[in-house]
Amino acid sequence: MANVLGLAGSLRKASFNAGLLRAAAEECPDGLAITIGTIAGVPLYDADDEAANGLPDAVQTLQAQLADADALLLVTPEYNNGVPGVFKNAIDWMSRGDGLKHFKGKPVAVIGASPGGFGTNLAQAHWLPVLRTLGTRPWFEGRMMVSRAGQVFDDDGNLTDDKTRDALRTFLAGFQASLG
């Protein structure tokens, strides 16, 4: 059984991206499981705070989950054509202490959902220099950009569209195959 840590980069209760991550966990093929982590409770990075108090509990939890995971799935919103600060902030914290070693060589897939027509295309590309710097092994063969999210998620952020669930299953099967 391969274990994937899934993180969604939004704190919004009815987040499309959190809903996409829940749907991914539901649609996992046999032999793959997604552990849903959370960036909630991760404070803004402050080097003085880190020097005085070390890593916050929420960050230590995420680091432990990443250490246990065979792979990482980032489910990213797009803000101003880039990575949302709240999501990048959590990943930055996770790279602190001895956190980098858990990213090194780790297979990573990036997906996302947005209400617009381009489905986080630019945010996904924006993650690439970060993933390279962390020494990860990004998986590029599959692509999953959910556009017009308002039409495929309900008011609670649950994915209601069968075609998108099919695409998710195909994406996850490809990612699973790449893990060997």
Q: Is 54 in the site for ligand FNR (CB under 6 A)?
A: no
Name residues contacting ligand FNR, limited to 91-110 (CB under 6 A).
none
* Shortest spacing between CB 15 and ligand FNR, in angstroms: 3
SS (H, E, C) the chain: CEEEEEEECCCCCCCHHHHHHHHHHHCCCCCEEEEECCCCCCCCCCHHHHHHHCCCHHHHHHHHHHHHCCEEEEECCCECCECCHHHHHHHHHHCCCCCHHHHCCCEEEEEEECCCCCCCHHHHHHCHHHHHHCCCEECCCCCCEECCHHHCECCCCCECCHHHHHHHHHHHHHHHHHHC
* Shortest spacing between CB 3 and ligand FNR, in angstroms: 23
With contacts defined by CB under 6 A, name the span among 24-32, 75-83, 125-133, 166-174 that binds ligand FNR: 75-83
Among 29, 56, 97, 115, binds ligand FNR (CB under 6 A): 115
Given the complex with ligand FNR, which of 59 and 75 has the nearer CB atom? 75
With contacts defined by CB under 6 A, name the span among 14-22, 35-43, 126-134, 169-177 that binds ligand FNR: 14-22
Is the CB of residue 94 less than 8 Å from the CB of residue 166?
no
Q: Is 12 in the site for ligand FNR (CB under 6 A)?
A: yes
CA distance 29 to 81: 32
Over the window 119 to 158, marking each residue x when it contacts ligand FNR by CB under 6 A and - when it does not, the resulting string is ----------------------------------------
Among 3, 26, 64, 81, binds ligand FNR (CB under 6 A): 81
What does the binding site for ligand FNR look like in residue numbers (CB under 6 A)?
10, 12, 15-17, 77-81, 114-116, 118
